[in-house]
Homo-oligomer: A and B are copies of this chain.
Amino acid sequence: MKLMEVLNEIHQQVLPSLGQGKVATYIPALANVDPMQFGMAITLNDGQYYGVGSYRTPFSIQSISKVFSYTLALRTYQDGLYKRVWREPSGNPFNSLVQLEYEAGIPRNPFINAGAIVVCDSLVSHFNDHERAFNEILGFIHQCSGDNSITIDEVVAKSEMAHGFRNIALANLMKSFDNFDNDVNTVLQTYFKHCSIVMNAQQLSRSMLYLANNGTDPISKKQLINATQAKRINSLMLTCGHYDASGDFAFRVGLPGKSGVGGGIVAVVPGKMAIAVYSPALNEYGNSLVGTKALELFTTKTGLSIF
């Protein structure tokens, strides 16, 4: 079956599920999004792409940004990064302080909030400045996507900052355990800004090709990270990419992936392609409800699960 047919079939099959789930409500900019949207895009390693529905509608990538910041930090610090952020599933909600306290301020993985915050802290240290750290992350996304027009939604960024008490708590808890080097507020600016980056499904699928191609962007031919690092990021997305429903996603979809509360999910088929879906209503674990269904249909129809 051709990929465009697959996308069209999926589109038809998920339409009845639109309306289930709930959009994120902790900030107005996300709460006001139309929950009935659905878009899906695939980009192959050779650059061909396919899209269906609202695949060109920009949305807030939120936690999907953690893949980019982690890639940059891993490239910068290599194995040194593991002293500061571990690589195990957490078995707890994405913003829990409990495990962080029991485990002396070392976050379980870079895809829970505490882990991504410490990743941002490491980048602020490396680039000596929180604005430059953010610009480096954004520049890296420009590279990955081949699109320099991508930018942030300032309203979302400010709104996140104004409601980020729990993230401030996480950062200060890590600081109390000496796993935080810079001023909490400046690092959180980098963190919230990179969560507020806006992309559409097509841009997102394009930007993840380096993970489908052993660390080298297959279109620009530029090596962004090495093959081992790419495999490791994929393994992390598989085991930890969907908060406390990561096992469920691996079980049903069978692909490395990362979701955001803005309703986006990206998934990687190693050696072949990257996929992005967008549908803002979330399931009880904070992952796009229809997006997860669409990806489950995708691997069922194509047999492209890694398992």
Expressed in whole angstroms, the minimum distance between the Cβ of A20 and any Cβ of chain B is 19
Residues of B within 8 A of A102 (CB): 98
**With known contacts A245-B88, A247-B109, A306-B306, A176–B172 Cβ distance under 8 A:** no
Complex Cα spacing A246 to B91, Å:
12
Is the pair B173, A97 in contact by a Cβ cutoff of 8 Å?
Answer: yes
| A14 at interface by CB-CB < 8 Å | no
Interface string of A212-256 (1 = CB under 8 A from B): 000000000000000010111011101110001111101100101
Complex partner residue of A248 from B87, B231, B234, B246, CB under 8 angstroms? B87
| A170 at interface by CB-CB < 8 Å | yes
Expressed in whole angstroms, the minimum distance between the Cβ of A139 and any Cβ of chain B is 26
Is the pair B87, A90 in contact by a Cβ cutoff of 8 Å?
Answer: no
| A96 at interface by CB-CB < 8 Å | yes
Complex Cα spacing A141 to B248, Å:
27
Complex partner residue of A165 from B92, B108, B175, B240, CB under 8 angstroms? B175
Residues of B within 8 A of A51 (CB): none
Is the pair B307, A238 in contact by a Cβ cutoff of 8 Å?
Answer: yes
| A280 at interface by CB-CB < 8 Å | no
| A75 at interface by CB-CB < 8 Å | no
Complex partner residue of A247 from B89, B92, B99, B256, CB under 8 angstroms? B89
Residues of B within 8 A of A159 (CB): none
Complex Cα spacing A162 to B87, Å:
31
Expressed in whole angstroms, the minimum distance between the Cβ of A130 and any Cβ of chain B is 18
Complex Cα spacing A102 to B91, Å:
12
Residues of B within 8 A of A98 (CB): 97-98, 101-102
**Band of interface residues on A:** 35 or more
Please give me the residue from chain B that is nearest to A240 by CB atom: B247
Complex Cα spacing A87 to B231, Å:
23
Residues of B within 8 A of A92 (CB): 91
Complex partner residue of A251 from B90, B101, B235, B247, CB under 8 angstroms? B235
| A39 at interface by CB-CB < 8 Å | no
Residues of B within 8 A of A231 (CB): 254, 305, 307
Residues of B within 8 A of A30 (CB): none
| A168 at interface by CB-CB < 8 Å | yes
Is the pair A97, B99 in contact by a Cβ cutoff of 8 Å?
Answer: no
Is the pair B256, A236 in contact by a Cβ cutoff of 8 Å?
Answer: no
Please give me the residue from chain B that is nearest to A268 by CB atom: B307
Residues of B within 8 A of A245 (CB): 88
Please give me the residue from chain B that is nearest to A86 by CB atom: B247
| A169 at interface by CB-CB < 8 Å | yes
Is the pair A88, B248 in contact by a Cβ cutoff of 8 Å?
Answer: yes
| A166 at interface by CB-CB < 8 Å | yes
Instruction: Taking A169-B172, A235-B307 as given, write out 18 further A-B residue pairs in contact, using a Cβ cutoff of 8 Å, ordered by the A residue number.
Output: A86-B247, A87-B248, A88-B244, A88-B247, A89-B91, A90-B91, A91-B91, A96-B101, A97-B97, A165-B175, A165-B176, A168-B169, A168-B172, A169-B170, A232-B307, A236-B251, A238-B238, A256-B307
